[in-house]
Chain A
């Protein structure tokens, strides 16, 4: 059971998740401090919370629209959050999977900050409200990357085959 710490609206762009002015910061270990830097309440919430505990941010449609900047995914990986959205923008979703950010597509998710959710393979149960919301599963191709632990280890496997090394 995990707690929702924040509820976001539709069309949250990568400019909001990770403002362009921090794009010169590239290392995944250095990006988390700037998450949602223009939404001070959320930025402070994330930077103030312990990363030992996993928590949930709920979003609407088209989460992660806009630029291809991968920092928008790495900044959230660093805070140990799961993003449950009605729908994600393509490049963001791909980046999230490549970097191991857990993203859940749940078209009719209803939850606000403070709600407690249970995440199953095929559904999200909102314990606080007693409602159930089906999940759209990740396509198999993407699951292979998740199972390999992200795109870097997955590519390493392929590269070994290509170079003929074990």
Chain B
């Protein structure tokens, strides 16, 4: 009894009836995900095997997923060579859940995992990416690890030395106003508890707003939980999770949702009423520097980015297309849209959203991380300002330490692309 979701999942992963906060355990992994940094994981994996009289072999090729997304198509010979080595490794080891640079099944790792049905409620998921927290939206315990730790998982099938984390219960109630979305809720929460407010802890989300929210919005909330320092952001599985897995992910098998005990012990409880919440915006250069959009209205912007594993899904692109249909992106703004997966891209094409966006002046790019990390495309010029639906605005993010990045929802980003300044869609008469 008294177990939170993460404690129950971890207990199962070590074959015990219960674990306690602070216990150090070695949980079995259900899914281990990497992207281009698999090149470093491979290096460390071979290092582990060096000097051992054994053929390097991953513990279970069906439980490893590798997705090329960060710099696709490759921007340099170095990246291209890393990607080539990864393909060779995938073939050698028989890694099943591999997604290459393709128009039929490529995309950002944190979108591919849920939409392919690779993550199920109750899973322990690790990824060599901090936004691995995303998959908590499906009721899994999903967290980011480093490349050497992943090499260790590839070799052994479990994570060494996991401390069972404490859990903060977040209760979100109230009906959101028009143009207020999951992104505004999570930005508001990060602003409230700070960028390290949940460091070493798990956020477990409850409340009527979460129950009514679809999985796309939940993925946004779990994705950005790491920006409050959280190890994972878990939304206990419910009927919506089941719907998503059946209708979107095409999963037909059975699974057992993991729910917290009624008397589960939390280290802290945070209540948020979102009924009066305005659209939120994270200002440079920290994600917890959150304000209401009206406080920064009128700020001149040079680039708008809609996309990323945070807000690059079909509903996000629809919001932008609906707002931009028949309108024009300001002559002073470059608007870049990058759907989170090829599948989303195709759906956006079929539904006419891509045409709406292009007619308005936006550039729709191939699926991938693109400008989100600023190494590959869409870098900012000195002194320029971007408004993005991504998840980080640190100095140097988007490729230039003397540029500024604001973070918002797709609605705020789309409306601001038209006006050329940060604009509140609620007041804009949209």
Binding site for B on A (CB under 8 A): 11, 13, 15-16, 19-21, 23-27, 38, 61-62, 65-71, 73, 87, 89-91, 94-95, 98-99, 139-142, 144-145, 150-152, 154-156, 158-160, 162-163, 165
Selected contact of B397 from candidates A20, A91, A98, A141, CB within 8 Å: A20
Q: Which chain B residues numbered 353 to 412 have a C-beta less than 8 Å away from chain A?
A: 373-375, 392, 394-397, 399, 401
With A24-B82, A70-B147, A159-B52 as contacts: A151 and B152 at CB distance below 8 Å: yes
Main secondary structure of the interface of B (DSSP, over half): loop
Binding site for A on B (CB under 8 A): 24, 36-37, 39-40, 43-44, 47-49, 51-54, 70-71, 76, 78-79, 82, 127-130, 132, 144-149, 151-152, 155-156, 160-161, 163, 195-196, 199-200, 229, 231, 286, 373-375, 392, 394-397, 399, 401
Selected contact of A24 from candidates B52, B71, B127, B200, CB within 8 Å: B71
Residues of B within 8 A of A94 (CB): 145-146, 149
Closest beta carbon of chain A to B358's beta carbon, Å: 28
**Are the CB atoms of B78 and A160 closer together than 8 Å?**
no
Report the separation of the CA atoms of residues A25 and B40 in the bound assembly, to the nearest whole angstrom. 9
Residues of B within 8 A of A144 (CB): 161
With A23-B375, A90-B200, A160-B52 as contacts: A69 and B43 at CB distance below 8 Å: no
Residues of B within 8 A of A19 (CB): 396
**Are the CB atoms of A155 and B152 closer together than 8 Å?**
yes
With A89-B199, A162-B156 already in contact, 15 other A-B pairs whose C-beta atoms are closer than 8 Å = A15-B394, A15-B395, A15-B396, A20-B396, A24-B79, A38-B396, A38-B401, A66-B130, A66-B392, A68-B145, A73-B146, A98-B148, A141-B163, A155-B152, A159-B54
**Are the CB atoms of B394 and A13 closer together than 8 Å?**
yes
Closest beta carbon of chain B to A52's beta carbon, Å: 25
With A152-B148, A155-B155 as contacts: A90 and B231 at CB distance below 8 Å: yes
Q: 27 pairs across A/B with beta carbons < 8 Å?
A: A13-B392, A16-B394, A24-B71, A26-B39, A26-B43, A66-B130, A67-B130, A68-B127, A68-B129, A68-B132, A69-B37, A70-B128, A91-B145, A91-B146, A94-B149, A98-B146, A142-B161, A145-B160, A150-B148, A152-B48, A152-B152, A155-B48, A155-B155, A159-B48, A159-B54, A159-B156, A165-B53
Residues of B within 8 A of A139 (CB): 24, 163
**Are the CB atoms of A26 and B397 closer together than 8 Å?**
no
**Are the CB atoms of A159 and B155 closer together than 8 Å?**
yes
**Are the CB atoms of A26 and B24 closer together than 8 Å?**
no
Find the residue from A70, A73, A163 having the highest chain B CB count within 10 A.
A70
Selected contact of A68 from candidates B144, B156, B373, CB within 8 Å: B144
Return the chain A residue nearest B81 by Cβ: A24
**Are the CB atoms of A140 and B151 closer together than 8 Å?**
no
Closest beta carbon of chain B to A58's beta carbon, Å: 18
Residues of B within 8 A of A156 (CB): 48, 51-52
Report the separation of the CA atoms of residues A156 and B373 in the bound assembly, to the nearest whole angstrom. 34
Report the separation of the CA atoms of residues A158 and B155 in the bound assembly, to the nearest whole angstrom. 9
**Are the CB atoms of B195 and A62 closer together than 8 Å?**
yes
Residues of B within 8 A of A13 (CB): 392, 394-396
**Are the CB atoms of A70 and B396 closer together than 8 Å?**
no
Return the chain B residue nearest A62 by Cβ: B196
With A87-B199, A90-B200, A90-B229 as contacts: A70 and B129 at CB distance below 8 Å: no
**Are the CB atoms of B160 and A154 closer together than 8 Å?**
yes
Residues of A within 8 A of B149 (CB): 94-95, 98, 151
Residues of A within 8 A of B401 (CB): 16, 38
Report the separation of the CA atoms of residues A20 and B401 in the bound assembly, to the nearest whole angstrom. 11
Residues of B within 8 A of A98 (CB): 146, 148-149
Report the separation of the CA atoms of residues A130 and B132 in the bound assembly, to the nearest whole angstrom. 44
Report the separation of the CA atoms of residues A61 and B163 in the bound assembly, to the nearest whole angstrom. 21
Residues of B within 8 A of A61 (CB): 196
